Amino acid sequence: MLSKTYTAIDSKNKKLRLGLIGARIDGHAGVIIDVLSLFEDIEIVAFFDSTPDLKGTCINNIPVLGCIHDATQDVLDNIDEFHISIGDNKARQELFIELKMKGLKFSTIIHPTAVISNSAIIGEGCFIGALAVVQCNVTISNVSLINTAAVIEHDNIIGEAVHIAPNAATAGRVKIGDLSFVGIGASIIPDIIIGESVFVAAGAVITKDVKKNTRMLGYFAKPHHENIYADIDNDNDN
């Protein structure tokens, strides 16, 4: 069940103790730290990251405690909620499913400058960036990212672990499947259905439905294999 969530704050009397899963300071984690600095009643108390060189270090005076899978129950009990600060859709979804089964709670983080309709429904663990717009009757599923200045128009349905990149825009009644990525500055016209694990390239204009597991470069679709990110890397090597 999706919940209506407008800030990551759920306590009026004390600071919410938040743990971030993913500690890449020059990536999505850095964006999350910056946004959370605007909330006086949220305290980031720990990072969790599987990178061996980060364990035992501090980032912005916040300790990196190693992989979340290795965290003891005592450590987890001292953290109120978690947020997965990882840009990779597949990794974010897998972590969310696994850790939800273990009883962890996840915060949705929304930048104060984002414009969110009162009728929008936003799932757990999502991120809504600065100047983003989420219009009326939109549903956004768990652990999805609506990045800086992205526009999600009315009556959209955004799946789980989707990433809408900066300045991308979806028109009315668009449906986007789980694990899909819509690149920076891309546009999607009304009533389009995009399947699961679709990659829409930066600046693409989508004027027709897109089948699952497809890359969209401009108006041309190209199927990918098992991992859209690996496919991109392989193309860049050629």
Q: Which helix (H) or strand (E) is 30 found in, with range? A: helix 28-36
Instruction: List the beta strands (DSSP E) in 32-94.
Output: 42-48, 58-59, 62-63, 81-84
From 83, 111, 154, 224, active-site residue: 154
Domain presence at residue 42: yes
Please check the confidence at residue 59 and state whether its pLDDT lies above 70: yes
Please check the confidence at residue 116 and state whether its pLDDT lies above 50: yes
Q: Between residues 165 and 234, which one has the greater pLDDT?
A: 165
Domain that holds residue 92: 16-109
Average pLDDT, integer, range 83-95: 96
pLDDT of residue 83: 98
CATH number at residue 139: 2.160.10.10
Confidence band, pLDDT 50/70/90 cuts, at residue 10: very low
220 and 183 inside one domain: yes
Domain presence at residue 10: no
186 and 164 inside one domain: yes
Of 54, 76, 109, which one is at a domain's C-terminal end? Answer: 109
Confidence band, pLDDT 50/70/90 cuts, at residue 227: low
102 and 170 inside one domain: no
Please state the pTM of the whole predicted model: 0.87
Q: How far is CA 163 from CA 130, 141, 181, in A?
A: 15, 11, 5
84 and 21 inside one domain: yes
Average pLDDT, integer, range 46-71: 94
What token pair was written down for 205?
Answer: 């204009």
Confidence band, pLDDT 50/70/90 cuts, at residue 6: very low
101 and 121 inside one domain: no
Average pLDDT of the residues of the chain: 89
What token pair was written down for 179?
Answer: 């694990």
Of 82-91, 154-163, 193-202, 207-216, which gets the smallest average pLDDT? Answer: 207-216
Domain presence at residue 199: yes
* C-alpha closest to that of 174 among 146, 4, 114, 107: 146
98 and 118 inside one domain: no
Average pLDDT, integer, range 147-159: 98
Phi, psi of 158 (to 5 degrees): -105, 125
Separation of alpha carbons 83 and 92, rounded Å: 10
Q: Are 103 and 121 in contact (CB under 8 A)?
A: no
3 state DSSP class of 194: strand
103 and 143 inside one domain: no
Q: What does 213-233 look like in DSSP terms, one character per residue? A: SEEEETTEEEE--S-HHHHHH
Q: How far is CA 112 from CA 92, 127, 128, 161, 204, in A?
A: 23, 12, 9, 22, 29
Classify strands 220-223 and 214-217 as parallel, antiparallel or unpaired.
antiparallel
Domain presence at residue 138: yes
Amino acid at 220: F
26 and 104 inside one domain: yes
Average pLDDT, integer, range 149-165: 98
Please check the confidence at residue 131 and state whether its pLDDT lies above 60: yes
Separation of alpha carbons 236 and 53, rounded Å: 28
First to last CA, the chain: 44
Q: Between residues 132 and 222, which one has the greater pLDDT?
A: 132
56 and 115 inside one domain: no
Please check the confidence at residue 229 and state whether its pLDDT lies above 60: no
82 and 177 inside one domain: no
User: Could you confirm whether 154 is annotated as catalytic?
Assistant: yes
Domain presence at residue 80: yes
CATH number at residue 36: 3.40.50.720
Of 83, 109, 135, which one is at a domain's C-terminal end? Answer: 109
Q: Which helix (H) or strand (E) is 116 found in, with range? A: strand 115-116
* Number of domains composing the chain: 2
Q: Between residues 13 and 70, which one has the greater pLDDT?
A: 70
21 and 90 inside one domain: yes
Domain presence at residue 6: no
pLDDT of residue 225: 47
Domain presence at residue 223: yes
Average pLDDT, integer, range 197-218: 88
Q: Are 143 and 96 in contact (CB under 8 A)?
A: yes
Separation of alpha carbons 101 and 195, rounded Å: 26
104 and 163 inside one domain: no
